[in-house]
C-alpha cells in the first residue's frame, strides 16, 4: 500500500544564529530561530514522513519543551522518521520538498542538502527532490522575517 504524507514548517529569522538548511550551514546574516537547529527543510520532511505513517508530528516525538533537543541537529529527527518507517516494515519511495525564502540563494547548496537528507533517511539522493522559490517579496517570507518549507513523502507499507 502506498501512503503519502504532507509536511510544513516555518521559522523566524534571527541574528546570531547559523542558517542550517537541509543539514548545510549556509553563510547568511541571520539564521532560523527555534529550539533545535531550526532546519525548516528537514522539519517539513520529517512531518511528511510521519504523516504518511499515520504518526504524530515532529513535536510529538521531539517536544520543544524538552531541553535535550536544545540546538539539536535535525538529522536526528530524520533518522527517527526513518526508524519509524522500518518499524512498520515500510520503504521510503521518495521525498519532494520546496523551500521558500527570499535570501540567500539556495540552488548552489541543493546537492549537499540532498546528500544529507538521503543519508539521514537511508535513501538515495536521487529519491530526494528539493526546490527553492521566493515569495515575491510578499508576506513574512517576502519581508525576510522567516522561511518556510513544504514537503511530500511517499512510503510503501505492507498491506
Domain boundaries, the chain: 2-156
Q: How big, in percent rounded to 5, are the helix, strand and coil portions of the chain?
A: 35, 30, 35
Q: At the topology level of CATH, where does 2-156 sit?
A: 60s Ribosomal Protein L30; Chain: A; (3.30.1330)
pLDDT at position 38: 97
Whether the Cβ atoms of residue 51 and residue 153 lie closer than 8 Å to each other: yes
DSSP result, 101-142: -SSS--GGGHHHHHHHHHHHHT--GGGEEEEEE--TT-HHHH
27-72: pLDDT as tens digits = 999 999 999 999 999 999 999 999 999 999 999 988 888 888 888 9
Q: For each of the chain's 159 residues, which pLDDT tens digit applies?
A: 999 999 999 999 999 999 999 999 999 999 999 999 999 999 999 999 999 999 999 999 888 888 888 889 999 999 999 999 999 999 999 999 999 999 999 999 999 999 999 999 999 999 999 999 999 999 999 999 999 999 999 999 998
Give, in order, the Cα–Cα distances in Å from 92 to each of 23, 61, 86: 19, 19, 9
- Taking alpha carbons only, the member of 27, 28, 30 closest to residue 14 is 30
Using the 8-state DSSP alphabet, how is residue 104 labeled? S
Amino acid at each position: 500500500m502506498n501512503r503519502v504524507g504532507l509536511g510544513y514548517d516555518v521559522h523566524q529569522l534571527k541574528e546570531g544564529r547559523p542558517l542550517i538548511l537541509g543539514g548545510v550551514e549556509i553563510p547568511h546574516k541571520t539564521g532560523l530561530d527555534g529550539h533545535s537547529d531550526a532546519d525548516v527543510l528537514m522539519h517539513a520532511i520529517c512531518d511528511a514522513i510521519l504523516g504518511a505513517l499515520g504518526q504524530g508530528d515532529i513535536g510529538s516525538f521531539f517536544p520543544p519543551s524538552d531541553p535535550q533537543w536544545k540546538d539539536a541537529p535535525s538529522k536526528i529527527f530524520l533518522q527517527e522518521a526513518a526508524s519509524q518507517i522500518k518499524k512498520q516494515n515500510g520503504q521510503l519511495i521518495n521525498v519532494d520538498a520546496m523551500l521558500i525564502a527570499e535570501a540567500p540563494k539556495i540552488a548552489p547548496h541543493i546537492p549537499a542538502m540532498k546528500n544529507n537528507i538521503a543519508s539521514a533517511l537511508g535513501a538515495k539522493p536521487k529519491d530526494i527532490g528539493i526546490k527553492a522559490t521566493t515569495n515575491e517579496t510578499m508576506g513574512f517570507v517576502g519581508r525576510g522575517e522567516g522561511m518556510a518549507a513544504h514537503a511530500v513523502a511517499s512510503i510503501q507499507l505492507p498491506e
